[in-house]
Structure 1
Amino acid sequence: MNRATHYAFIYFIAGILFYYLRSYNVIIASVIAITGYKLANTILIDYIEEERILGLHSFRRDYYLVFITDYILALSILPSVALLWITRNTIFELAAFYSLLPLLFMLRYTSNMEKLVNELKVERDKIKELNEKFTRLSEISNLVRLKTPPDKILSYIAKMMTKDFGYRYALINLFDMENDRSIRIAYSGFDKKEFERLQKNAPTVSSRFELMKDEFKMSNSYFIPQGAVEIKEEETYTGEYTRMNENGAWLPKDVFFVPLIDEKGIMIGYISLDSPLNGKRPTIMDARVLEIFASEVVSALKLSAKFQDIVYRSQIDLQTGLYNHTSFFEYLRTLLEHRNKHKKLYLLMLDMDNLKNINDKYGHLVGDRAIKRVVECIKSSVRKKDFVARYGGDEFVVILENVTFDTLRSIVDRIQLSRMFLKGVKEELTVSIGVAAFPDDALKSKMLINQADKALYIAKNNGKARICFATNNKIRQKGEFL
């Protein structure tokens, strides 16, 4: 008996079993027919044929595995058998369905292809639009390189925000931290009279920082949805808006700020954008592209002595030449937002121990000299790349990045072991220090400052010239770091 005869016999057995048992139950008949088919197949094909061809005389374990695998696979056709049996009286309709099935698949495929083509077209248009925007960026860079007057560059950028980025209104603002006010320096989308009104009613710097909360952050920019905060009407401009009734639609009182950040990571101002022509709120990608252009605004500001003076006065404590309190907060916040948790950072908070006594005994002019002497000592003790700021009054802060504990010890020792005296003053100048570490003591800037401040408080309350670590509240005397 050849292989073809074997298969004919196997299918015959399955057909006979199903034919005589179908009247009882189709599913049971199908299971018995499949079982009979697989048993016959295993005996006639897998065993007898292999014995005849290869001369094997033992029923190998492999046959059991093959039988079980094929049997389970064959049982998977039972749902199809049931469907065919149920629809046996509508055979023509079923035949028509199976005939149309390929056509349905082709229609679905064509629909998917059309959708894919449309998506690719949208992506291509986005890339084209981005390319055009970055061409504009090179134009701005050329204007900066050719030392074009800053006012013209800023006006050009503001107009570009409305023309190329699709916003009806753009307003560029610079922070005057010394006087706690925002300066409107360029605009586009409304008339000069409205701009003058906005200049007159410019918000305070502190009020703008209050709006810029982490919950509203989008990349480095800030999107504040309508109703989330209260903004004074006189500080804003209400113009024309594209109305849309869908998710993600821009609302009249939505706020979008793109920050102006200098090379130290300190925010020196912002660009306010309003009323997108497409009626949609910005995406993270929109914000990131705008942030690249915002860096060109900073480059333009560097060319202006007038604006540079405002920036300098906004960032620097004029008495000591150190960064001021606001600059410190902004720098630390930006630094920790993007910092890897495996890269340690130390925050030192220093307080002069006896400035009040010196002021009372020798006068405030001598007290000012004492402050400058301590600043000289701090600056000479730290590295050039370390950030030093006046926190306020007789308090100072130092940010030490990428330092080992030994380097920290060396810097603190240099500060505390320095001989700080003033001519005509008997008392030695000393400082107490509170130390907090990122990420050990805190992950957020405000918490890290709070930890360093608590450590400083403990140091001050345990005598002069002490060091306290926020991690374990251990106190060290001057010269006893270890």
Structure 2
Amino acid sequence: MHQTPWMTSDILSRLNANAGMLLVRSLWEYCPEHMFIVRVEGPTDFVIEAMNPTRQAMLGNDTVAIGKRIEQLLPPPLCHGVIANLSRCVECGSPIRYEEEGGYIDRNGIYQQGHWQTLLVPITDQEGYISHLFGVSRDMSQLPEQPVGANPDSKEFERRVHERTAELVAANEHLTHLATHDSLTDIYNRRYLLELAEQELRRASRYEQSLCLMMLDIDHFKEINDTEGHLSGDEALRRVARTILATVRECDLVGRYGGDEFIILMPQTTADGAREIAERLRRTLTQASSLTISIGIASLEPTDHFVVDLIHRADNLLLQAKRNGRNRIEYAA
């Protein structure tokens, strides 16, 4: 039997075990769009595992391309952009779309300039880790140009479609924001924060990276509500949330855990590094207001399998900070 890239890829062979995948196989073989599968070896390390015939026509015979890394097939800066988008898809754990322009050497050794629109879809293994990425690219430079004097009615229809699509996207983004953010502080709510935190924990464990979780609350928060009213308490929560966002890095995850408790998850951060951030946060808040906070910091350990393991240790350290006089930081070095 003729061996195709579909048959040579383990992941595609598993899909082929299902008779319903015959249609997918036909699309893989005959679709004019570029299709490819890369194996995720590391945060910025991706290996070509399969290409459909259309993609082969662009880069060369599959026996040459299969098993090679992106940087071995595409010249800079094109490969840098491709790797950045592959990494972004792994990072967010959901499908992404992007456009790219660049040049490459085709199978005949001729330099070609291209413009592609690409959809990337992550594929997870049985343990929930992203093991592969499936991509579909359309070469926009090969599409026919619209003829001069095209029907104006079709242009108006296209404009309305784009406007309606933009409205639907905006509405969907608003609903997504409401579902994932705390209505009072506008940071992540507890459910979504824990969902993202579990993904970060799995990533840190898989690549043996450092990870810290910080839990904090407002000192004497009940007294603020009892003496100044709940509106003052709400403002105190918003102030703390704003200060946290202004202090931490963009890659850190910030959410309201419940009541006056906040959680900050810090990827690729050691205990000492987390303590520096915590101290800057505590000092900034004290200088700008009458509020003080107590903080507990837990670091990822080899025995941690769930985020709740870090939360439990950080909570105990937070209680220790309270017992030792409040307005302080406790962490395990």
SS at match of 2:262: strand
TM normalised by structure 1 equals 0.37
**Inter-partner Cα distance in structure 2 for 1:124 and 1:399:** 41
CA distance 1:355–1:396, change in 2 (3 Å):
same
* Greater RCO structure (CA 8 Å; 6+ sep): 2
- Name which of structure 1's ranges 321-330 and 412-421 shifts more when overlaid on structure 2: 412-421
Gaps of 5+ in 1: 1-116, 141-260, 269-282, 294-299, 473-482
Correspondence for 2:199: 334
| One-letter code aligned to 2:176 | V
1:232-247 alignment to 2 at 5 Å?
none
CA distance 1:338–1:406, change in 2 (3 Å):
closer
Correspondence for 2:278: 412
How far apart are residue 387 of structure 1 and its match? 1.4
Bigger helix share: 1
**Inter-partner Cα distance in structure 2 for 1:430 and 1:343:** 31
Larger radius of gyration: 1
Correspondence for 1:316: 181
SS at match of 2:310: helix
**Inter-partner Cα distance in structure 2 for 1:449 and 1:134:** 49
Give aligned-pair identity as a percent: 29
| One-letter code aligned to 2:292 | T
| One-letter code aligned to 2:275 | R
**Inter-partner Cα distance in structure 2 for 1:335 and 1:316:** 18
Correspondence for 1:401: 267
CA distance 1:136–1:446, change in 2 (3 Å):
farther
Q: Is the 8 A contact 1:350 1:431 kept in 2?
A: yes
How far apart are residue 323 of structure 1 and its match? 0.9
Cα shift readout 1:63-94 (whole Å, capped 9, x = no counterpart): xxxxxxxxxxxxxxxxxxxxxxxxxxxxxxxx
CA distance 1:375–1:360, change in 2 (3 Å):
same
Gaps of 5+ in 2: 14-21, 36-87, 96-123, 136-164
TM normalised by structure 2 equals 0.52
SS at match of 2:209: coil
Correspondence for 2:7: 123
Query: RMSD across aligned C-alpha pairs, in angstroms?
Result: 4.4
Is 1:132 the counterpart of 2:132 in the alignment?
Answer: no
**Inter-partner Cα distance in structure 2 for 1:130 and 1:302:** 36
**Inter-partner Cα distance in structure 1 for 2:33 and 2:191:** 33
**Aligned to 1:307, which of 163, 167, 172?**
172
SS at match of 2:188: coil
1:11-410 alignment to 2 at 5 Å?
117=1, 123=7, 129-130=24-25, 132-133=27-28, 265=92, 292=134, 304-339=169-204, 340=206, 342-410=208-276
Equivalenced residue count is: 212
How far apart are residue 302 of structure 1 and its match? 10
Q: Is the 8 A contact 2:215 2:297 kept in 1?
A: yes
Runs of at least 4 residues of structure 1 off by over 3 A? 117-122, 124-131, 133-140, 261-268, 287-293, 300-303, 419-423
Cα shift readout 1:223-260 (whole Å, capped 9, x = no counterpart): xxxxxxxxxxxxxxxxxxxxxxxxxxxxxxxxxxxxxx
How far apart are residue 402 of structure 1 and its match? 1.8
| One-letter code aligned to 1:394 | D
Q: Is the 8 A contact 1:265 1:331 kept in 2?
A: no
Bigger strand share: 2
Cα shift readout 1:241-281 (whole Å, capped 9, x = no counterpart): xxxxxxxxxxxxxxxxxxxx98864789xxxxxxxxxxxxx
